[in-house]
Amino acid sequence: MASASSNDSAAAVSIGDRLVGDGRRVLIVAEAGVNHDGEVEKALRLVDVAAQAGADVVKFQVFRASTLVTATAGTAVYQQASGARSQHEMLARLELSDDGFRRIREHCSARQIEFLATPFSPPDVERLGMLDVRAIKIASTDSTNTPLLRRAVKTGLPLIVSTGASTAEEIASSVERLRSWGVAGRLILLHCISGYPAPLEAANLRAIASLRRLSGVPCGFSDHTRSTRIAGWAVAAGACVLEKHFTLDREAPGPDHWMSLTPVELAEYVSAAREVEEALGSGEIGMAPIEADVRAVARKSVVAVMDIVAGQVVTPEMLCIKRPGGGIGPDQMGAVVGRRAATDIVADTVLTWELVR
């Protein structure tokens, strides 16, 4: 097992005009993936749904079936809902042209949502270069794909790398390799469970903090569960990025529709993340402004229990502790004893330092 670093926090990564990292607003990535079914118009509608839900980013996948898989590569169990006899057949139906991606990218700009895509080969990275992307997402399956990673690093863009189905040793080795290639300050890792869908008991959200300690870089969560509430839990667990699949129609044929969130659920997911984010606050210790009123009436002060004549020495029997606050605090009661009254003090008066000398 690779040893964990003692570094519990990591420098933020700049993606466009956003800083992503510990203590900052979580970056929510709505994963459209291939749920456009190879149709640009459907992809544009997915952008609309992501923007309306309040996501920061909408993400697609850039690939050519002919360069991604062999002609005979089989499908995973979760992909068999597509009805395709092979991965090549399935993926060929889901390709989008460069012109199609340009339209999607332009629509993202119009809807003021960030465009992101996952490339699967060096030529796919070249295609992304024409789309003015602000970061590159690397899928879990390619976390050890050195030709792809080298090309992605050369773009100079931030890399968001998922770690699904990777051992701790593989993750540590990958981070060291990427650092040696010059990605310091622009790497984010995503804890990921490569199950489709992943059951809640497999989510292992504590691994987000473990991954951050291991890598020393900001870490998030690529979420393959069907839960919407888990967004808030992941934020509480320290995720600085959330990535979640969504679809226009969960009943549509295709490899990912059935395990993706509906538009309504995506909005619930974003809301859950933001609600917990607000509740977590800044982490600073101290009195909050909202507490001032309660503090004033509920704190206590040193109070005279009897009339005290001017010049009279104050004894313990003359004093008690009562609400409200604002006077001499209870912790200073001993400092009052032995002083003299500066003026006549009526019983039940809250003492201040002006009243004793």
Residue-level pLDDT at 80: 60
With both helix axes pointing from N to C terminus, report the angle between 122-129 and 146-154 in degrees, rounded to the nearest 10: 20
pLDDT at residue 204, rounded to an integer: 98
Q: Which CATH architecture has domain 15-280?
A: Alpha-Beta Barrel (3.20)
Token pair for 62? 């850039």
What are 174's two structure tokens? 């990958």
Do the domains 15-280 and 289-355 sit in the same CATH topology, yes or no? no
At residue 6, the pLDDT reads: 39
Q: Which of 67, 206, 246 is nearest to 142 (CA)?
A: 67
Tokens of 211: 């991954």
Question: Of 113, 121, 33, which Cα lies nearest the Cα of 79?
Answer: 33
Q: Domain limits of the chain?
A: 15-280, 289-355
> CA geometry: angle at 15 spanning 111 and 138, to 5°?
95
Specify the pLDDT at position 5: 40
Q: What is the pLDDT of residue 79?
A: 59
Alpha-carbon gap, residue 155 to 102, rounded angstroms: 19
This prediction has a pTM of 0.87
Look up residue 325 and give its amino acid.
G
pLDDT of residue 139: 98
Amino acid at 132: D
User: How far apart (Å, rounded) are the C-alpha atoms in residues 2 and 169?
Assistant: 5
Contact status, residue 159 vs residue 153, Cβ threshold 8 Å: yes
pLDDT (tens digit, 9 = 90+) per residue, 20-43? 999 999 999 999 999 999 999 999
Structure tokens at 67: 């360069």
Level-2 CATH architecture, domain 289-355: Alpha-Beta Complex (3.90)
Identify the residue whose tokens are 């409200």: 324
pLDDT (tens place) for every residue of the chain, 357 residues total: 333 343 456 899 999 989 999 999 999 999 999 999 999 999 999 999 999 999 999 999 999 998 898 888 776 665 565 566 688 888 889 999 999 999 999 999 999 999 999 999 999 999 999 999 999 999 999 999 999 999 999 999 999 999 999 999 999 999 999 999 999 899 999 999 999 999 999 999 999 999 999 999 999 999 999 999 999 999 999 999 999 999 999 999 888 999 999 999 999 999 999 999 999 998 999 999 999 999 999 999 999 999 999 999 999 999 999 999 999 999 999 999 999 999 999 999 999 999 999
Give the pLDDT of residue 81.
58
The encoded tokens of residue 345 equal: 């003090």
Amino acid at 129: G
Q: Which among 304, 265, 347 is positioned nearest to 52, based on CA atoms?
A: 265
